[in-house]
């Protein structure tokens, strides 16, 4: 990372860019799918749809098919489906969280590079300003010496004694 920053300073190039596209381009199809499933699984849409599915399942088995329900109370088939869904959904969400962690790490590294470059640039600017001040003070001293010499010459002319 430090080499990248030093190279950017040498080439006077910009490090601050949107790395989101670069991160997204590196994703595999499975990673993209895991992200989409995790986004849906953690949304209100999923909760409402899933709650509606549960209510519908129970209503069909209790009221509509009360004579011969395909999954009578205590809804063992529904519990099996819920367990399978949880068993599949948990690793997918964990994969998505791992991807998010990788994205965050890449963004943090990028932010570190930008901050380091900014710090070095500020240090270089500070050194340049210090150099200019020293150079300016030397020039002022030289001008002052010339002025003192002129004043001494004027004093000699005014007071020839």
pLDDT tens, 21-49?
A: 666 777 788 888 888 888 888 889 999 99
Query: Is the per-residue pLDDT at 9 higher than 80?
Result: no
pLDDT tens, 136-150?
A: 999 999 999 999 999
Predicted local confidence at residue 103, as pLDDT:
84
CA 39, CA 95: separation in Å to the nearest integer? 12
Query: Is the per-residue pLDDT at 71 higher than 70?
Result: yes
Q: Which helix (H) or strand (E) holds 66?
A: none
The overall average pLDDT reported for the chain is 86
Q: What value, to the nearest 5°, has the Cα angle with vertex 64 and ends 46 and 85?
A: 30
Residue 9 sits in which domain range?
2-158
Domain count, the chain: 1
- The more confidently predicted of residues 16 and 149 is 149
pLDDT tens, 104-128?
A: 888 888 888 888 888 888 988 999 9
Query: Is the per-residue pLDDT at 84 higher than 90?
Result: yes
CA 46, CA 56: separation in Å to the nearest integer? 15
């Amino acid at each position: 990372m430090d080499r990248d920053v030093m190279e950017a300073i040498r080439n006077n190039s910009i490090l601050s860019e949107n790395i989101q596209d670069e991160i997204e381009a590196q994703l595999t199809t499975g990673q993209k799918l895991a992200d989409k499933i995790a986004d849906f699984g953690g949304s209100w849409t999923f909760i409402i749809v899933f709650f509606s599915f549960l209510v519908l399942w129970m209503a069909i088995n209790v009221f509509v098919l009360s004579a011969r329900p395909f999954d009578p109370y205590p809804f063992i088939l529904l519990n099996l489906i819920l367990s399978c869904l949880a068993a599949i959904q948990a690793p997918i969400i964990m994969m998505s969280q791992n991807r998010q962690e990788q994205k965050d790490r890449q963004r943090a590294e990028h932010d570190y590079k930008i901050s380091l470059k900014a710090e070095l640039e500020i240090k270089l600017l500070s050194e340049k300003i210090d150099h200019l001040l020293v150079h300016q003070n030397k020039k002022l001293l030289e001008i002052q010496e010339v002025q003192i010499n002129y004043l001494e010459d004027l004093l000699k002319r005014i007071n020839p004694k």
